[in-house]
């Protein structure tokens, strides 16, 4: 019942995600759902057995991989913070499926401890067709959504562009939801699973509990292909529905209106105030002043050295406001509108990267570093593009000339 468990876990994760917001919700759905499928094999085969944690078992797996599948990559563990690299973990399990089965067999036969018993249970799961089918279906779905997730996390993407990317991804899933595409996918899984798993069978129907049994006949499937067809359609429909639901919320529409107002004003065109904005932010803005200042925004863009007609990104407007500091005092309502736009959860993908960076910068070996050092390392790690532009020679000379002691031990760098 591996596929049923995977689908049930997907539903549980997606229901938990309903409490979150817009892009955070979507990213959680895309990659925590992917990890649900991958963890059932990756976590059991790598973490529970400790293949990567035990030099003996790690050496055994590497030896078998080089002997049986030398062209395949090694197993990849699931990163708890990086959400856009988990497809590789699923792919590594599929590619090394035969090696995993052989390794589990060897551990089961030669180990008479807890790891041997766990290897026996995992081997029984690996030999089921539903396991291989579930991993293949997870790879099909999330190899596509990984590109969408990376696109949504780019720095300069606009909300309008994000919606277009979502529609293109939904178009792909819609094209996959046909009998022909399922037949091709199912036949390819059958071909790949030859000599690796059992033949596909219809799972045994469970009798529902008496307290919820209405007496109606349970659903039956005439063939294994029909059963897996339902699983295939169910996963595609679930992903499509969640994408539609997340990007059709009221907060997303407000963010799109704010974005269009700023971009239209930046190009020198007259802006009309939508009723949704005036009703929602009636106590936050002086709308008469806001409309007047939006008409002056194009002059600020021009003063910063940019052509107003070529502005297609909010980042250009922010850079122009920073390049002309007096514009923040001259156009306070526009500045407030920009700050409001950047506080919307859709636009916090850059801030969310701080948590992933923090896990890599402050690891267990650096647990005693001071807060000041951590802040400096985090700034340098996150803003690599600015750090690369730093003049290292001038920085070294400044450090060496700070006091007499340094002047004695260090010479000037040329």
Q: Do the beta carbons of residue 30 and residue 145 sit within 8 Å?
A: yes
Q: Which pLDDT value is given to residue 177? A: 92
405, part of any domain: no
Q: Do the beta carbons of residue 97 and residue 65 sit within 8 Å?
A: no
> Is there a single domain that holds both residue 185 and residue 43?
yes
> Is there a single domain that holds both residue 117 and residue 41?
yes
**How far apart (Å, rounded) are the C-alpha atoms in residues 141 and 149?**
12
370, part of any domain: no
> Would you give the distance in Å from CA 241 to the centre of its chain?
18
Q: Which pLDDT value is given to residue 412? A: 67
328, part of any domain: yes
Domain end (from 297, 327, 346): 346
**How far apart (Å, rounded) are the C-alpha atoms in residues 97 and 151?**
31
393, part of any domain: no
Q: Which pLDDT value is given to residue 347? A: 54
Q: How many CA atoms lie within 13 A of 398 on its CB side?
A: 6
**How far apart (Å, rounded) are the C-alpha atoms in residues 368 and 379?**
18
**How far apart (Å, rounded) are the C-alpha atoms in residues 302 and 306?**
5
Q: Which pLDDT value is given to residue 188? A: 93
Q: How many CA atoms lie within 13 A of 121 on its CB side?
A: 10
> Is there a single domain that holds both residue 194 and residue 338?
no
Q: Which pLDDT value is given to residue 414? A: 62
> Is there a single domain that holds both residue 190 and residue 56?
yes
> Is there a single domain that holds both residue 235 and residue 328?
no
**How far apart (Å, rounded) are the C-alpha atoms in residues 338 and 251?**
16
**What total number of domains does the chain contain?**
2
Per residue of the chain (414 residues), what is the pLDDT tens digit? 343 443 434 333 333 333 333 233 233 333 333 333 333 434 433 443 456 667 777 778 778 878 888 777 777 776 665 666 778 888 888 888 888 888 888 888 888 888 788 888 888 888 889 889 988 998 898 888 888 888 887 777 777 788 888 999 999 999 999 999 999 999 999 999 988 898 998 888 777 777 777 777 677 888 899 999 998 999 999 888 988 887 777 777 788 888 888 888 888 888 888 888 888 888 888 888 888 999 899 998 888 888 888 888 888 888 888 888 898 889 999 999 888 888 776 555 666 666 777 777 888 887 788 889 888 888 888 778 788 888 888 888 888 888 888 888 877 666
**How far apart (Å, rounded) are the C-alpha atoms in residues 185 and 177?**
11
Number of Cβ within 10 Å of residue 261's Cβ equals: 22
Q: Residue 333 belongs to what domain range?
A: 251-346
**How far apart (Å, rounded) are the C-alpha atoms in residues 268 and 30?**
39
């Amino acid at each position: 019942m591996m596929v049923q468990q995977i689908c049930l876990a997907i539903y549980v994760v997606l229901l938990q995600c309903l409490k979150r917001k817009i892009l955070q919700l979507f990213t959680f759905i895309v990659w925590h759902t992917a990890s649900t499928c991958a963890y059932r094999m990756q976590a059991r085969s790598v973490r529970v057995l400790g293949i990567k944690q035990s030099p003996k078992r790690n050496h055994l797996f590497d030896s078998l991989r080089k002997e049986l599948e030398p062209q395949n990559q090694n197993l990849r563990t699931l990163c708890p913070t990086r959400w856009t690299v988990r497809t590789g973990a699923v792919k590594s399990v599929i590619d090394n499926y035969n090696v995993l089965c052989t390794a589990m067999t060897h551990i089961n036969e030669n180990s008479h401890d807890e790891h041997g018993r766990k290897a026996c249970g995992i081997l029984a799961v690996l030999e089921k067709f539903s396991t291989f089918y579930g991993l293949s279906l997870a790879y099909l779905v999330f190899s596509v959504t990984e590109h969408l997730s990376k696109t949504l996390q780019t720095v300069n993407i606009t909300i309008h562009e994000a919606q277009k990317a979502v529609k293109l991804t939904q178009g792909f899933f819609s094209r996959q939801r046909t009998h022909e595409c399922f037949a091709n996918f199912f036949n390819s899984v059958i071909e790949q699973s030859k000599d690796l798993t059992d033949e596909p069978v219809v799972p045994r129907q469970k009798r529902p509990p008496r307290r919820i049994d209405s007496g109606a006949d349970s659903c039956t499937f005439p063939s294994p292909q029909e059963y897996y067809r339902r699983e295939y359609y169910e996963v595609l429909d679930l992903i499509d529905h969640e994408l539609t639901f997340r990007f059709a919320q009221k907060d997303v529409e407000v963010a799109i209106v704010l974005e269009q107002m700023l971009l239209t004003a930046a190009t020198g065109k007259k802006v009309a105030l939508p009723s949704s904005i005036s009703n929602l932010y009636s106590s936050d803005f002086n709308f008469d002043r806001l409309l007047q200042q939006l008409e002056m925004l194009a002059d600020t863009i021009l003063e910063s050295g940019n052509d107003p007609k070529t502005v297609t990104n909010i980042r250009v407007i922010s850079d122009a406001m920073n390049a002309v500091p007096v514009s923040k005092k001259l156009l306070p309502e526009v500045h407030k509108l920009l700050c409001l736009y950047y506080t919307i959860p859709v636009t916090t993908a850059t801030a969310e990267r701080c948590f992933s960076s923090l896990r890599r910068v402050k690891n267990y070996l650096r647990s005693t570093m001071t807060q000041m050092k951590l802040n400096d390392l985090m700034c340098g790690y996150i803003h690599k593009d600015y750090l690369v532009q730093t003049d290292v020679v001038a920085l070294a000379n400044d450090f060496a000339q700070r006091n007499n002691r340094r002047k004695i031990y260090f010479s000037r760098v040329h």
